Amino acid sequence: MTAALGIAVLIVLQRPRRLRLRRWRPRASSGDLMALATLVALGLDAGMTPAAAISWARPYAHPALAAAVTTLTRRAQLDGLAGGLRSVTGLGADLFAALARAVETGAALGPVLGAFQEQVQAEARAAAEARLRRLPVKLVFPLALLMLPGLVLIVSGPALIDLFGRLT
């Protein structure tokens, strides 16, 4: 009986640790995608081909994006660069779809990457502004519950002390 209880306690204590590790794994974000786009643009400005610039940026990318770039380069060997770029799904799909359109049409990739970076920055700015617009609503309750009682005591405290002093 005691051994079963001890095993149950160990299982319960081990479970939150596993959940914590899963929860705190960093996920790729739009900032990581911006960094990848910047690195690809840097490679293109240095005179690399689009495929070489994407491959060169891979080791510096977030692991999830690096896996997508690895898949992209393998598909590009089979289907061509545009086909490989179109095969990406997930976080980098928008970036690689824009690059695929530019590769198919023969357009310059630098302006495409610049427009993508501006779009991601505008989306991040809009999300930050939306969070800031909700902030006053979220702060009303803590302000009312924590600040108002202290203010009432400071304002009415001397009058209450005087009142209780007269009663005795």
Count Cβ neighbours within 10 Å for each residue of 65-99 and write b for 16 or more, e otherwise: bbebbeebeebbeeeebbbbbbbbeebbeebbebb
> Could you say which DSSP state residue 89 is in?
-
Q: Which two tokens stand for residue 157?
A: 């405290």
Question: Residue 128: its pLDDT value, please?
Answer: 92
Distances in Å between the Cα of 145 and the Cα atoms of 133, 154, 156 are 21, 15, 17
Q: Is residue 128 classed exposed, middle or buried when 0-12, 13-18 and 19+ CB atoms within 10 A define those classes?
A: exposed
| Distance separating alpha carbons of residues 68 and 53, to the nearest angstrom | 15
> pTM surpassing 0.85?
no
The identity of residue 38, as a single letter, is T
Would you place residue 127 in the very low, low, confident or very high pLDDT band (cuts 50, 70, 90)? very high
Query: pLDDT tens digit string along 11-30?
Result: 655 655 555 555 555 677 77
Question: Residue 4: its pLDDT value, please?
Answer: 60
What mean pLDDT do residues 63-78 have?
A: 90
CA dihedral 29, 30, 33, 38 (to 10 degrees): -130
Query: pLDDT tens digit string along 90-109?
Result: 888 889 999 999 999 999 99
Q: What is the mean pLDDT of the chain?
A: 84
